[in-house]
């Protein structure tokens, strides 16, 4: 019985250590002049521009790109309608294939829209988070090589989950 407990305890300790290490790597994105903040889970995410839209990249823009857009939308307009408007623009991408939509909840509630496309002969993917704050919808537009976006999903979810509007 004792020989089973030691590896189990070591495994639990390793997981706890890794979780603590991963949590300590986050930093807050809180730029002056911007009305929102969120946690960045990895130092490889770098701010590229703040105008006209906030843009961060993970390594290079094809390895991971985040663009944050703000859409004025009365609370009576459904997020699904806003997503359809955005999808109409995406349909012209080479090799565009719509993916599934998901509900999402974090500091702000909303939905996720997934899709795939081709750029320069390479498979790419997009994962857009539509987050509602009263009469505004913030769109966190992540795009990357398909395999990269899959591996970054925990990070993209964390950034969207912690995204919130600053108090006035």
What distance in Å separates the CA atoms of residue 40 and residue 52, rounded to the nearest whole number? 21
Please report the pLDDT score of residue 51 as a whole number: 84
Please report the pLDDT score of residue 42 as a whole number: 94
What distance in Å separates the CA atoms of residue 46 and residue 40, rounded to the nearest whole number? 10
- Sheet strand arrangement including 136-145: 45-49, 54-58, 60-72, 136-145, 122-133, 109-119, 97-105
Cα 105 to Cα 1, 117, 121: the distances in Å are 43, 26, 34
Ordered domains of the chain (ranges, CATH): 27-165 (3.40.1000.10)
Contact 115, 99 (CB under 8 A): yes
21: pLDDT strictly greater than 70: no
pLDDT digits (tens, 9 = 90+) for 69-93: 999 999 999 999 999 999 999 999 9
Contact 163, 138 (CB under 8 A): yes
Name the residue with higher pLDDT: 124 or 22: 124
Please report the pLDDT score of residue 18 as a whole number: 47
């Amino acid at each position: 019985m004792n020989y089973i407990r030691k590896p189990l305890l070591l495994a639990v300790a390793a997981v706890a250590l890794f979780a603590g290490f991963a949590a300590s790597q986050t930093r807050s994105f809180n730029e002056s002049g911007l009305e929102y903040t969120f946690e960045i889970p990895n130092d490889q995410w770098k701010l590229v521009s703040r105008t006209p839209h906030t843009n961060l990249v993970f390594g290079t823009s094809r390895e991971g790109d985040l663009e944050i857009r703000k859409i004025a939308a009365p609370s009576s307009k459904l997020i699904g309608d806003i997503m359809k408007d955005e999808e109409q623009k995406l349909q012209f991408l080479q090799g565009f294939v719509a993916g599934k939509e998901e509900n999402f909840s974090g500091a702000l509630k909303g939905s996720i829209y997934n899709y795939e496309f081709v750029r320069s002969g390479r498979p790419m993917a997009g994962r857009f988070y539509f987050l509602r704050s009263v009469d505004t919808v913030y769109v966190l537009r992540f795009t990357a090589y398909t395999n990269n976006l899959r591996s970054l999903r925990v990070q993209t979810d964390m950034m969207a989950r912690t995204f919130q509007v600053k108090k006035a």
